[in-house]
Structure 1
């Protein structure tokens, strides 16, 4: 039998995100509560300022760009405290937000702009060159590129978002009417194992449901002094807002619960520690590579991190060794959660009070969901046996944009999402993730599709055939991409050729997709009779190679 959440069932209101966040009757904090603070400049937004700025921006979209319901606004920017107002202003006008990794090359960004049908692009001055190039490739006019952040465009060609206002001076523009179950709030892109990234369609209901589910999951057992609330907790935000983890767990959870979110534009360990100390941060969402640094880096000793009550790790599996090392050094407890872009994202989390009882588990199933583990023959397996995790709930996505076949393969007729992750549950209802059916490489929480890298590498003049797999790097506590290359006849299989191949790919992809696992030269790529790359054999080869190297030490 499928497993239902042991949490009490929630009443998910039939309401869009704007109404959910800004027209609520149960808001437990005042309008002048500071919600978003820039970690470096201390510039901030109160709840009331976010609402008014978003309203002005939404009216400006309708006034200046004739914004229509369903139009897509793309974001190409690192973390910025202006981002929330942009998001909800677009929702006010009936639009959809599609965030893109600011590390994308112009070609990668252009694909997303075209696939999403973006009618506008938001960026920061530092990223204007790439943004303009991508916009040109897809025919997006330059006057549809606008800026956020503290820096302005000296030439005056590109408006700051605060200048996208209703110039008519009338109040004729009204908030768009939204069907929460059908209308999309976000179009986030999740890398598949083949081809280009897929547009994950998330409705207003999906995000509303997940915010409420997450609030229950983070409430904790108050007798344990657990749980985060809006009475004094401060969260440090370095996880990218362009990723669903940051979008929901940081941006949405903070304004719904009344948490102060101290926003870093990107991760830097020294800055991370400094901000925890200076802002008395009490909670942080992290990823395993950051946990590794907390356990080992000498930088940590320079700062007082004692204000932290708990950290939550997600995006990739977390080992007991890492958790134990941090607790031994800093007395900071770290629990784990689980989720995917297709589930808005959070589906499981460890209860605060159980953080050290079930290390290695991703926790319990959050409210309003049903889960089951399935065999390769798609038969349900009992507790304790390994299978692929399937999930169903109000947080499960609508489907993949322009990809009915992908949607059909990922969702069953009765609404289950096939996660592609393998694991099991114990008899107490704790869930474990042990492997992936899918072949995605996860580098520090970012998804790297091997087929994309293979397609680019295959075009290299010195490569005859190629396969890419993920190799676990213990020093970085993450997978890294490695290429297995069959060189063309006459090409030397040496360090200089490896350097050229690594540099070639680095010039064509975002930073997280680079070949940090290096290149291995082979005589042939193992393939099935149908021509599919047998990555399992390459992983076995890599494991044997590592074992042999250790034996020589």
Structure 2
């Protein structure tokens, strides 16, 4: 039988995102509450300023470009204190926001703009060269490119001038159908092929904010949340940007991650809560700069986007006394489906927690049959936060959503007898060694605790002599540690004593300067596999 959430079902109002955030009757903080804060420029938005700016921008869109319900605005920018106003201004006008990675090339951005059908594009001056070229490729004229942030360019309108356009006061907020009208088109990175446009409705996001609220009651308007996770990614978009406003917590925004800046801002701004990803937790357990700062204001960190192992959780707590709980979700689930309770951060280390309300889930085998509690399978999940499908991709949608509305996550894990979920890896990334399944993330968590390793990624490579896939580790040695055969042997032998026989590094150890990762902190194993294959073609033999 599918597992039900252990928490009581919650009422999800039939309303859009704007209604939930700006027209709610139960808000327990005032208009002067600072919600978004840029620590580099000291620019701030209070709740009242945010609502007014967003409404004015939405009216400006309708007046300037005859913005219609369902029109798409592309956002190509690093985190910016103006992003929330722009986002909710588009929703005021009934539009859809499609945020793009500011690290995209011209071709990558052009693909998203064309696929999403973007009517206009907002960016910052630093991203203008790529934005202009991509817009040109898809036919977005220059007068449909606008700027946000602190820098100006006289050739383009700043969003503040659009919101001050005369004659727009007559425009009222567009009405939306919460279940059918899209709020966001976020693009999933995927492991192969072009990114897929994930269609998220207003109801999806509203439901997920309230689902999160049921487990994050510890966060209040007195908290300060550090936002370095990108707002173009669903993790930063919902869990930080939307949830901070719903709770009235002060959200301190970083345009990009830097470990020293992160520590300094936590100390100076007295940050109490931070959403993080495993690479950041790993840095906190190892980087020397951490010891220079007082991080004691942090009451809790919540990690997501990739599996976080107990070895890393123990290491960071031992070094800094910081607590890390886990959550789980995907772009297609808006994103949060599971969260650990604050008090469970240590009791169930390695678990992503229990399922949030209003959902059911089951683990399935390769033949689409449900597996018993405790057995490993692919997670399928159903609830009001599940996306509407992939844009312009009926085949992808059909493969992801079942006829009875379950979403096939592509993630492997299991459920324990107490209702705790464990996610071990992606289906496509599991290493198959002679019939045994080896989750790369599990080995990475163990290896990361080695005192001579700064970072690590594990991939599966094929060995002809034994006709099987085997684990290979790409290792970033700690500064000052000599890479070479001696360290290879030491690492392989050390791991062999800590894991089952089928999980040993039969593919060997390779040393690298950096582990490639996505903006959300996921290891890009496909890039490492590509590098390995190139090395093999050039005659570089794997260390067996």
Report if TM-score (shorter chain) is over 0.5: yes
Matches within 5 A, 1:49-198: 49-153=49-153, 156-165=154-163, 167-169=165-167, 171-198=169-196
Aligned partner of residue 164 in structure 1, secondary structure: helix
Cα deviation, 1:264-306, whole Å, max 9, x if unaligned, reads 0000011000000000000101111111111111101111101
- The answer (yes or no) to whether the contact 2:278–2:306 under 8 Å persists in 1 is yes
Contact 1:482-1:519 at 8 Å conserved across structures? no
Shift of 1:8: 1.2
Q: What is the DSSP-based 3-state SS (H/G/I as helix, E as strand, rest coil) of the residue aligned with 1:79?
A: coil
With over 3 angstroms needed to count, the CA separation of the structure-2 counterparts of 1:422 and 1:170, relative to structure 1, is closer
Over 3 Å counting, the alpha-carbon distance change for 1:100 and 1:521 in structure 2 is closer
Q: 2:391 aligns with which of 401, 414, 436?
A: 401
TM-score w.r.t. length of structure 2: 0.82
Q: Give the C-alpha shift of residue 74 in structure 1.
A: 0.6
Match of 1:23 in 2: 23
Check whether the contact 1:193–1:440 (CA below 8 A) recurs between aligned residues.
Answer: no
- CA 1:482–1:435: 2 relative to 1, 3 Å: closer
Contact kept? 2:328, 2:339, Cα under 8 Å: yes
What's the counterpart of residue 472 of structure 2? Answer: none
Question: Given the two structures, how large is their TM-score scaled by the length of structure 1?
Answer: 0.81
User: How many equivalent residue pairs?
Assistant: 471
Q: What's the offset of the Cα at 1:482?
A: 10
Maintained 8 Å contact 2:410/2:427? yes
Relative to structure 1, is the Cα distance of residues 403 and 29 closer, same or farther in structure 2, using a 3 angstrom cutoff? same
2:230 and 2:236 in contact (8 A); partners too: yes
Separation in structure 2 between the aligned mates of residue 291 and residue 510 of structure 1, nearest angstrom: 13
With over 3 angstroms needed to count, the CA separation of the structure-2 counterparts of 1:267 and 1:480, relative to structure 1, is farther
- For the structure 1 residues 127 and 483, does the alpha-carbon distance in structure 2 shift closer, same or farther, using more than 3 Å as the test? farther
Instruction: State the alpha-carbon separation in 1 of the partners of residues 407 and 390 from structure 2.
Output: 12
Following TM superposition, by how much is the alpha carbon of 1:476 offset from its aligned partner in structure 2, in angstroms? 5.6
Q: What is the rounded CA distance, in whole Å, between the counterparts of 2:384 and 2:254 in structure 1?
A: 31
Structure 2 counterpart of 1:346: 336
Cα deviation for residue 363 of structure 1 reads: 0.6
Q: Secondary structure at the match of 1:277?
A: helix
Aligned ranges 1:487-526 → 2 under 5 Å:
515=527, 518-521=531-534
**1:191 shift after superposition:** 2.5
Query: Deviation at 1:194?
Result: 3.4
Cα separation, 1, equivalents of 2:377 and 2:70? 38
Q: Which residue of 2 aligns with 1:213?
A: 211
What is the aligned counterpart of 1:330 among 317, 320, 327?
320
Q: Distance in 2 between matches of 1:148 and 1:88?
A: 14
| Matched residue, 1:532 | none
CA contact (8 A) 2:233 2:520 kept: no
Structure 2 contact 354–419 (Cα < 8 Å) conserved:
yes
Q: 1:184 to 1:476 in 2, by over 3 A?
A: farther
| Cα pair distance change 1:523/1:241, threshold 3 Å | closer
Q: Output aligned runs, 1:461-472, within 5 Å.
A: none
Which of 243, 248, 252 is equivalent to 2:233? Answer: 243
Per the alignment, residue 37 of structure 2 pairs with 37
Contact conserved, 2:307 with 2:425, CA < 8 A, in 1? no
Q: Could you tell me which residue of structure 2 aligns to residue 10 of structure 1?
A: 10
1:172 offset after TM fit, Å?
Answer: 2.3
Secondary structure, counterpart of 1:49 in structure 2: helix
1:299 is the counterpart of 2:289 = yes
1:228 aligns with 2:228: no
Summarize the Cα distance change of 1:510–1:293 in structure 2 as closer, same or farther, 3 Å threshold. Answer: closer
Uncovered stretches (5+) of structure 1, i.e. residues with no partner: 220-226, 442-468, 485-501, 526-540, 549-553
Q: Is the 8 A contact 2:63 2:168 kept in 1?
A: no
Please report how far the alpha carbon of residue 40 of structure 1 lies from its aligned counterpart in structure 2 after TM superposition. Answer: 1.1
Conserved in 2, the CA contact under 8 Å of 1:483 and 1:515? no
* Matched position secondary structure for 1:40: coil
Q: Could you say which residue in structure 2 is the equivalent of 1:361?
A: 351
Residue of 188, 197, 200 corresponding to 1:199: 197
Q: Is the 8 A contact 1:482 1:516 kept in 2?
A: no
